[in-house]
Amino acid sequence: MTTKQWRAERLSRLGSSIFAEVAEWKRTAASRGLDVIDLSIGSPDLPPSAAIRQALSDAASRADAYGYPGSKGTKAFLSQAAKWLQYRFGVEIDPEHELVSLMGSQDGLGHLALSLCNPGDIALLPDPGYPVYAAGLALAGVEPYLMPLKAKNQYLPDFTAIPEDIWQRAKFMLLNYPSNPVSAVADLSFFKHAVETAKQHGVLIVHDLAYSEMAFDGYRPPSILQAEGAVETAVEFHSLSKSFNMAGCRIGFLAGNREAVAALRELKANIDYGVFLPVQEAGITALELDMQGAQPAVGQLYESRRDTLVQALLQQGWEVALPKATMFLWAKLPKMQWNMSEPWTSRRISREMLERAGVAVIPGDAFGAEGEGYVRIALVEKEERLAEAALRIGKFIRGEL
């Protein structure tokens, strides 16, 4: 009998899932009786507001809520998303042709290259960057060209360093500000420059704005769609996961260039039936409440957590940069006060910090080669737990654990 391999070769191009790997580290640590403080996954630890939960509950109780919702999104949700974009950024978007609902922004990011590109095309990706960026290209047979993000450049890409032949072959360029994992921000002048550059080369810009409402110290992240002419050459992903603590609901949307939006709509019409109707109703409520000023501001919560953890780590001898946005710290590896035969890489320090101190973080190299030498720390625990994590990390740095 012929033995067949029931695993597609393309899966090997996705790379290992660092989140699954760290989850296994956590299980092992917990099985040894360690109290694990999990600062690895960027999943909000609080629920949506009571009003959002009530809207979801009310909609789920209706007998007519269980049909196929439609892959592009309900007229009501798309209309509300367009109103929110106008309210938040002053951007005019046509909900009929320039919006599509998504099962979270990761849904769209994972499928976009399949809808826009042909095998052998090139897409420009940030390094470090969120893993689904590269995974979406691998599934579509698209070649990544990595744009290094370096601290000396404020983690902004250098467009002049990209060769002309790469610009000619590239279909789209992916940007992400405020960014995951490096927590960098960009101003509107950067986006204007990006739009001008993309137009010169006929490249679509894909901007991931999942952290638009998680900013600190009075900073308000802009939308790339605010740049003049951006809707002609850019699309932007928005997510309700972080801003409204709706991560498990799986809802977001893509807005912008109608040709690109239509392509993703067409693909999704062939592979899914859209977001559960009650979830869309809850999303409408979330956006309405935000426009009314009745939605708790998540930025204030994470700003307080940021301040607590950064100060506590400083007291333990680990100086960490103070981010202006997101739910993450992008931390350069601390100077260890004890040595072993092997070098302290981001992956080794992450694993040993969990095994010895019971604090879980994500190694920076999981986000690309430029991430080596850093770890990503998620602010997803209450302040007292963050302070406890810092105490444990300090003992780990000093070799006391």
Residues of the chain with CATH 3.40.640.10: 50-291
- 101's tokens: 């609902």
Lateral strand order in the sheet of 170-175: 99-102, 252-256, 234-239, 204-208, 170-175, 122-127, 143-148
CA distances to 12, 286, 289, 301 from 294, rounded to whole Å, are 46, 9, 5, 15
Read off the tokens for 111.
């499928």
pLDDT at 148 over 80: yes
pLDDT in tens, 332-358: 999 998 877 788 999 999 999 999 999
Cis previous bond, 131, omega within 30: no
Percent of the chain with pLDDT over 70: 99
CA dihedral (58, 62, 66, 67) positive or negative: negative
Residue where the block lists tokens 């196929």: 68
Full-model pTM: 0.95
Determine the Cα–Cα distance for residues 61 and 70; give it in Å rounded to an integer.
Answer: 19
CATH topology of domain 9-47+297-397: Aspartate Aminotransferase, domain 1 (3.90.1150)
The string of pLDDT tens digits covering residues 163-177 is: 999 999 999 999 999
| pLDDT for the residue numbered 14 | 78
Instruction: Tell me the average pLDDT of the chain.
Output: 95
- In order, the DSSP letters of 62-84 are SGGG-S---TT--HHHHHHHHHH
The two tokens of residue 96 are 């009929």
Q: How many CB atoms neighbour CB 9 within 10 A?
A: 7
CB atoms within 10 A of CB 365: 19
Residues 50-291, CATH architecture: 3-Layer(aba) Sandwich (3.40)
**Segments of the chain assigned to CATH 3.90.1150.10:** 9-47+297-397
- Pairwise CA distance, residues 145 & 383, whole Å: 39
Whole-angstrom distance, CA of residue 35 vs CA of residue 294 = 37
Predicted local distance difference test score (pLDDT) of residue 15 = 65
Cα–Cα dist 398/130, whole Å:
31
